[in-house]
Amino acid sequence: MIIRDKILIIEDEETILRFMTATLTRSGYKVLKAQTGADAMLMIESHCPNLIILDLGLPDMDGVEILKKLRSWSGIPVLVVSARTMEKDKVLALDLGADDYICKPFGTAEFLARVRTALRHVRTAVGNIEVISRGTLTVRELTVDFDNHKVLRSGRDCKLTRSEYRIVELLARHEGKVLTYDFIMKELWGPRMGKDNQILRVNMANIRHKIETNPARPEYLFTEVGIGYRLAAE
Ligand code: CA
């Protein structure tokens, strides 16, 4: 018997709910649905889904409240669905422990790719256990070697500085996931660094020159405007 992944969609908009349900069902997932926050909490507790897709704008509560409650007792992966304009909400959701977000409107292929990534890895606060225990992460021509603190492009050492390496390592441990500016700053330079992310942007520009073929069209390190950075997934 094939055990199918159970996905709970928390979304009040009928058309989007129907689209997501149809897409996921066709791909073989078992779909559960909730259209209010109260319903969602009951469904999560009684069904323990493998993944939650969460709309931030619900009629009875803010999706962020659900995320906060959920993260106090569970690490179930959460994919946030939000409107493109609400950068602040996305940052907050990611900082509260959402695994990823997807902007409305989105296409089937992008949606399914995000779902697969979120389901594939059980993540912890320090990152993807599977990637870390393997000691390296390889995305196409790029390899991050955690043991030797090196980043290689087609087997050639990219000669990153210590700070540059630490940024790439952090993104690699959370491969495929957006890390917010704030999160990266705190992880690398401690909580007292403040909100000015100039140092991060300078480091990022230098990293791109070393690892990308064309830094203006990155293939590995993506900027999520107003939010943070993401390293391409394996
Ligand atoms: Ca909504």
Percent of the chain with pLDDT over 70: 96
Distance from Cα 16 to the centre of ligand 1, integer Å: 9
List the beta bridge partners of residue 64: none
65 and 99 both lie in a single domain: yes
192 and 221 both lie in a single domain: yes
CATH number for the domain that contains residue 170:
1.10.10.10
95 and 142 both lie in a single domain: no
Per-residue pLDDT of 148-163, as tens digits, reads: 999 999 999 999 999 9
Distance from Cα 75 to the centre of ligand 1, integer Å: 23
Calculated CA dihedral for residues 33, 35, 38, 40, nearest 10 degrees = 30
Last residue of a domain, one of 99, 123, 147: 123
89 and 136 both lie in a single domain: no
Is residue 1 included in any domain, yes or no? no
- Within 10 angstroms of residue 43's Cβ, the number of other Cβ atoms is 18
Last residue of a domain, one of 123, 158, 183: 123
Is residue 20 included in any domain, yes or no? yes
pLDDT band at 1 (very low <50, low <70, confident <90, very high): low
pTM above 0.85, yes or no: no
Last residue of a domain, one of 123, 144, 170: 123
Is residue 17 included in any domain, yes or no? yes
For residues 221 and 229, the answer to whether their CB atoms sit within 8 Å is yes
Distance from Cα 4 to the centre of ligand 1, integer Å: 27
Distance from Cα 207 to the centre of ligand 1, integer Å: 38
- Both tokens of residue 4? 């199918």
Distance from Cα 176 to the centre of ligand 1, integer Å: 25
List the domain range (segments joined by +) for residue 180: 129-231
Report pLDDT for 197.
84
Per-residue pLDDT of 32-49, as tens digits, reads: 999 999 999 999 999 989
For residues 84 and 90, the answer to whether their CB atoms sit within 8 Å is no
Domain count, the chain: 2
pLDDT(122) > 70? no
